[in-house]
Amino acid sequence: MNINKMLVLAAAAASVTASAQVTLNDKNAYAYDLGYGVEISDFFTTAAVTTISGEELQQTSATNLAEALYGRLPALTALSQGGFAGDENKGASFNIRGYHTLSDKSILILVDGYERPIDRLSVEEVESVTVLKDAAATALLGHEGVNGAILVKTKRGSIGRAHVTVDYSHKFQFSPEFADMVDGYTYARALNRARANDGLSAAYTDGELNLFKDGSAPFFYPNVNWRDLTFSNRGEEDHAYVSVYGGTDKVRYYTNIDFVDSRGALKDAGQADYNAQLRRSKANIRTNLDFSITGSTEMSVNLFGMFQETKRPSDISADGLISTLYTLPASAFPYKTSTGIWGGNETYGAVNPAARIQESGFYKTHQRQLWVDGKLTQKLDFWVKGLSVFISAGYANSSIMAENSSKSFEYGYERYTGTIGDKNNVALATFGNKQNDLTFANWVDSQWWTASGNIGVNWKHSFTADDHFNAAIIYNNKGENRDGRGNTYYRQNIMGVFHYDYLSRFMGDLVLAGNGSNRSYPSKWAFSPVLSLGWIYADNSESLLNYGKLRASGAIQHTDYMPTYGMWLPTWDASHGYVIIGNNYSPTWGASLGAFPTTDFSQETSKSVNLGTDLRLLNSLDFTVDGFYQRRSHIMLSANNENSSVVGIQSSYNDVGEVESYGFEVSAKYAKHITPDLNVNAGVTLAWSSNRVLKYIGTPTYPLSDPVGHRVNEAWGLQSAGFFKDQADIDGSCRQEFSTVSVGDVKYRDLNGDKVINQFDVTSLNGGTDIPELNYAFNLGVEYKGFGVNAWFQGTGNYYKYLPTEIWGGMANGGNLSVDYYNNCYDMAGDNALYPRLTTQTNNNNNQNSDIWYKKVHFLKMRNCELYYKLPSTLLSKLWLTSAKVFVQGENLVSFDNVDAMDAEVFSTAYPMFKGVNVGVTLTF
């Protein structure tokens, strides 16, 4: 009997990995549970899904789930954007299998079946995370799931005594990567050079340069290391949680209280009456309850609350500070004047980062999230065997209250009005408004809510002894609202779900879904069928190949994406400014038809196929390969690209865009109990995905810039051909139609052969897109007699970053100068230069998008590593403990990339990513 075989297999797998900290997935477990009562085991699933357990995620020291997913799931690209822990919309960004469309590229993130954010969810409360890659996996998710989804399952109770786990850890954060900027003397010299290049007189005499060099007149010729003054390079984080689970045959519970407190790296943030240090304090409280009300009635209720408070200086955010540290030259002005006023001048304004940390007051946010969901399942076997119904609903809301206590400060600088060095003739220029008292204001910064209700009927039946049939009809209904007009979504889905398997060898799933949305037009409904088939060609726990399955899925799905809200309405409320009319001088805003309505279109459609196989070898090695192809059509693009402005009204959209995307993932996971004391595990994944625009709107104005045939979000620009060497070189080269060029400016290639360089020479720079096409990861773990070590690596390849102008702006417009730019600019490096000449002015020729500024990047990082010791059970029993673990975890300790100046991943002026060492203990009673 096949079911027995399956159980044997599951038991074998369980026994092999019983005490190993990493196990192969239990094939008997549900592959993924959307909460709709559709319960397909990993053994039988025909969908492309991969799951990672919460236990494995806890090997990281991440204090939120989003940050625990770097390099952990095949096809899920998670990259850090930097930012301080409490910042909104920073941290990890996600996509699944790359880009599939020119429109909305976001993925869907679900927690226990409901759309929820995971950047505030703790890792401890997570049972597992599943990436839903193909249409078979996202078939029940409606319009929102079409770009792929992540499904988080939270922990639940189980029958038995109360298990109490207590954990505390402290994280030391250190050594973020920064690009170095030049010192005051170098800047001053470079400024003279730049001004000479611009045909301007020198800013400083040799005597003045010497004052910068020897530092003898620091108030007049300063050399301030702003980073050393304001940034400590060290942060820290405390994390603790208590979780309890257990239950009786009537009630099972899991509850968790998680607290995390993160402090930033500002120097001298503490004042007499307040402390403006970057700080995030957050508590999560979760209770998941399961009730067995009667023998046939099950109910579950999940409650989640999150309370977060953040703090920063009023006048400068974490990202803003880093940006200032990059943009403010060391020679700009002194830290303070000799009279004790904050340094500052008319060129840079009130930017002194030390002043803004110490004397601008503080800004706080208070964020609250409440999530509630519940489900009631009633078996109706008494009426029809195998029949059950369920009803479920979920609601979540969030609000962020902001509170600002601010004051402004006075700043200024001194200058010699007589001869340089004449202390009797010094003038002080001051600016700004010194306020001694804080001004208080508060407001609601943002809020959202989302509500969802589901009702469904399930029928399980076996027609013969060797088959299973499962049919479900599900109705789903949801609403969502975010700040701002046009951000309200109402959606309904009616789905018929059918599963059949025969002989435990052949499986088929069919989902027929009607997806309704208030954002689609003219038809509110789209029909999305998904068919997937599976064949288990091996199922034998004794042989070399324990398990083998082939999967195939194909689907037509839709999105309800709309480029402009209400685009089908002829709306006469476009205003183009005001006019002053009348003796009372009152401004009047006008109105007009904003755009031609878009009425004749189809919803963006995805047609996709996925082919995959899952293997298990020697009961210790899982191997999965998936390949996919997706073709997205009816992508909405603005017809402004094809209509002359002479018509006078903005064009409508045409649904003509088409994109194909394709790729594959290979993953292998090995877990083995080698001797009773020795467990090893290892994993490797490799994912590659790419895409191609097949159709775009209009005829391209610049033929070489035609997006058709290229990837979505490719780097476009001019191809450089070195730098102009001399006037003869300029005279002998093609005219460049961006601005007047001089020696040391970028010379471009004439790609279209018309002897002038202009927009017609802009082409694809073949530098990849803004997200990596190649993603790989591997991990290793060994445990011996309670001692264990784990390491997780993430690698990326083939994508680009644009060199941030704050760092590579080459001192134009009072900007700063990085060491990398200075050493490699035309003035210093000549023929070997990477960057154009120094200039104090905007140089439109050099600022064109080109291969000078797009840098192809790749990196390999040891994201996490862990060293731990689990106390032996003999000792534990005396301490009333069932387990005890002490650990040291590292994050981002080792990184290899192709960027010398700074971190290739967070390649921006965002608050940087730190290295971290986390020390802690986990006790279970």
Closest CA to 121 of 302, 357, 277, 341: 302
Helix (H, G, I), strand (E, B) or coil at 883: strand
Tell me how far, at minimum, the Cβ of 565 lies from another protein, in Å: 6
Does 579 participate in binding another protein (rule CB under 8 A)?
A: yes
Residue 215 vs 703, nearer CB to another protein: 703
Integer distance in angstroms from the first to the last C-alpha of the chain?
A: 41
The one segment of 115-123, 200-208, 608-616, 853-861 that binds another protein by CB under 8 A: 200-208
Helix (H, G, I), strand (E, B) or coil at 365: strand
Tell me how far, at minimum, the Cβ of 139 lies from another protein, in Å: 20
Ordered DSSP codes for 602-634: ---EEEEEEEEEEEEETTTEEEEEEEEEEEEEE
- CA–CA separation, 85 and 911 (whole Å): 10
Tell me how far, at minimum, the Cβ of 761 lies from another protein, in Å: 10
677 Cβ neighbours under 8 A, 6+ residues apart: 784, 785
Eight-state DSSP code of residue 390: E
- Give the distance, in angstroms, between the CA of residue 350 and the centroid of all CA atoms in the same chain: 32
Tell me how far, at minimum, the Cβ of 40 lies from another protein, in Å: 24
Does 571 participate in binding another protein (rule CB under 8 A)?
A: yes
Residue 45 vs 337, nearer CB to another protein: 337
- CA–CA separation, 447 and 420 (whole Å): 57
Residues within window 405-434 making contact with another protein, judged by CB under 8 A: 408, 415, 427, 429, 431-433
Q: At what angle do helices 184-197 and 206-214 cross, to 10 degrees?
A: 160
Do the strands 756-757 and 735-736 form a parallel or antiparallel pair, or are they unpaired? parallel
Contact assessment for residue 508 and residue 488, using Cβ atoms and an 8 Å cutoff: no
Does 381 participate in binding another protein (rule CB under 8 A)?
A: no
- CA–CA separation, 43 and 231 (whole Å): 53
Instruction: Determine which residue in the list 653, 760, 835, 859 makes contact with another protein, applying CB under 8 A.
Output: 760
Closest CA to 774 of 660, 655, 886, 859: 859
Tell me how far, at minimum, the Cβ of 519 lies from another protein, in Å: 9
Residue 93 vs 430, nearer CB to another protein: 430
Tell me how far, at minimum, the Cβ of 436 lies from another protein, in Å: 13
User: Which amino acid type is present at position 808?
Assistant: W
Residue 378 vs 883, nearer CB to another protein: 378
- Give the distance, in angstroms, between the CA of residue 242 and the centroid of all CA atoms in the same chain: 28
Instruction: Determine which residue in the list 425, 488, 543, 873 makes contact with another protein, applying CB under 8 A.
Output: 488
Counting other chains too, the contacts that 635-639 makes at CB distance below 8 Å and 24 or more residues apart are 635/101, 635/102, 635/103, 635/604, 635/659, 636/103, 636/561, 636/562, 636/563, 636/598, 636/601, 636/604, 637/102, 637/696, 637/697, 638/563, 638/697, 639/697, 639/698
Q: Residue 856: in which H helix or E strand, if any?
A: strand 854-870
Tell me how far, at minimum, the Cβ of 323 lies from another protein, in Å: 17
Residues within window 180-199 making contact with another protein, judged by CB under 8 A: 195
The one segment of 342-350, 441-449, 655-663, 865-873 that binds another protein by CB under 8 A: 342-350
Does 240 participate in binding another protein (rule CB under 8 A)?
A: no
Instruction: Determine which residue in the list 164, 202, 734, 828 makes contact with another protein, applying CB under 8 A.
Output: 202
Tokens read off for 301? 């209720």
- CA–CA separation, 584 and 590 (whole Å): 18
The one segment of 140-148, 279-287, 448-456, 530-538 that binds another protein by CB under 8 A: 448-456
Instruction: Determine which residue in the list 180, 483, 573, 754 makes contact with another protein, applying CB under 8 A.
Output: 573
Residue 223 vs 504, nearer CB to another protein: 223
Ordered DSSP codes for 574-607: B---EEEETTTTEEEE--B--B----S----EEE
Instruction: Determine which residue in the list 346, 542, 731, 831 makes contact with another protein, applying CB under 8 A.
Output: 346
Instruction: Determine which residue in the list 89, 424, 583, 874 makes contact with another protein, applying CB under 8 A.
Output: 583
Residues within window 714-753 making contact with another protein, judged by CB under 8 A: 735-740
Instruction: Determine which residue in the list 639, 687, 807, 857 makes contact with another protein, applying CB under 8 A.
Output: 639
The one segment of 117-125, 582-590, 769-777, 778-786 that binds another protein by CB under 8 A: 582-590
Q: Residue 778: in which H helix or E strand, if any?
A: strand 774-784
206: phi then psi, degrees, rounded to nearest 5:
-60, -40
Instruction: Extract the runs of DSSP E, i.e. beta strands, from 462-541.
Output: 467-482, 488-502, 506-517, 525-539
Residues within window 242-301 making contact with another protein, judged by CB under 8 A: 293-294, 297
- Give the distance, in angstroms, between the CA of residue 788 and the centroid of all CA atoms in the same chain: 30
Strand partners, 300: 290, 375
Does 439 participate in binding another protein (rule CB under 8 A)?
A: no
- CA–CA separation, 407 and 411 (whole Å): 13
Residues within window 520-549 making contact with another protein, judged by CB under 8 A: 524
Instruction: Determine which residue in the list 569, 656, 680, 743 makes contact with another protein, applying CB under 8 A.
Output: 569
The one segment of 180-188, 273-281, 786-794, 806-814 that binds another protein by CB under 8 A: 806-814
Residue 503 vs 649, nearer CB to another protein: 649
Does 599 participate in binding another protein (rule CB under 8 A)?
A: no
If you compute the radius of gyration of the chain from its CA atoms, what whole number of angstroms results?
A: 31
Tell me how far, at minimum, the Cβ of 294 lies from another protein, in Å: 6
Residues within window 455-484 making contact with another protein, judged by CB under 8 A: 455, 475, 477-479
- CA–CA separation, 236 and 280 (whole Å): 11
Residues within window 812-851 making contact with another protein, judged by CB under 8 A: 812-814, 840-842, 844-845
Tell me how far, at minimum, the Cβ of 499 lies from another protein, in Å: 24
The one segment of 22-30, 46-54, 488-496, 861-869 that binds another protein by CB under 8 A: 488-496
Tell me how far, at minimum, the Cβ of 208 lies from another protein, in Å: 11
Tell me how far, at minimum, the Cβ of 605 lies from another protein, in Å: 19
Instruction: Determine which residue in the list 643, 849, 882, 924 makes contact with another protein, applying CB under 8 A.
Output: 643
Tell me how far, at minimum, the Cβ of 232 lies from another protein, in Å: 30
Tell me how far, at minimum, the Cβ of 178 lies from another protein, in Å: 25
Residue 600 vs 642, nearer CB to another protein: 642
Residues within window 664-703 making contact with another protein, judged by CB under 8 A: 698-702
Instruction: Determine which residue in the list 159, 162, 503, 581 makes contact with another protein, applying CB under 8 A.
Output: 581
Tell me how far, at minimum, the Cβ of 490 lies from another protein, in Å: 4
Does 206 participate in binding another protein (rule CB under 8 A)?
A: no
Residue 165 vs 841, nearer CB to another protein: 841
Peptide bond into 74 cis (omega under 30): no
Residue 85 vs 190, nearer CB to another protein: 190
Does 794 participate in binding another protein (rule CB under 8 A)?
A: no
831 Cβ neighbours under 8 A, 6+ residues apart: 722, 725
Does 225 participate in binding another protein (rule CB under 8 A)?
A: no
Residue 106 vs 575, nearer CB to another protein: 575
Instruction: Determine which residue in the list 449, 490, 500, 664 makes contact with another protein, applying CB under 8 A.
Output: 490
Instruction: Determine which residue in the list 200, 387, 550, 780 makes contact with another protein, applying CB under 8 A.
Output: 200
With CB under 8 A as the rule, give the number of residues binding another protein: 99
Does 166 participate in binding another protein (rule CB under 8 A)?
A: no
Tell me how far, at minimum, the Cβ of 845 lies from another protein, in Å: 8
Ordered DSSP codes for 642-688: TS-GGG-SB--EEEEEEEEEEEEEEEEEEEEEEETTEEEEEEEEEEE
Q: Tell me the residue length of the chain.
A: 925
